[in-house]
Amino acid sequence: LSEDKGGYRMHIVSGEGKERPQWVEMGVPLPSWPSVKFYPDVPVRRILDHVQSQHFAAVYGDYVQELIDLCGILGIKAVVDAE
């Protein structure tokens, strides 16, 4: 969810989250931060054309239509990159 001069907009992306590989920096394994490796359902370029921030929220499950409906109720522009 972000805001610009046109109001609020929500970027909705679908895909699959898989376990990430172990992070290692300078030969030292890093703690297991809460993260996943994300495989989007659409080409990455399409997502990057609409990206709003380096931060995002993710939820397990398919809630694309519910989020679109919520945006409609709240008057938020839904930007959808999902199949």
pLDDT in tens, 34-72: 778 899 999 999 999 998 888 888 888 999 999 999 999
pTM tops 0.85, yes or no: no
Q: Which domain holds residue 40?
A: 2-81
How many residues does this entry show for the chain?
A: 83
In this prediction, residue 52 carries a pLDDT of: 86
Q: How many domains does the chain have?
A: 1
Cα distances (angstroms) measured from residue 28 to each of 23, 37, 56, 66:
8, 20, 27, 42
In this prediction, residue 45 carries a pLDDT of: 95
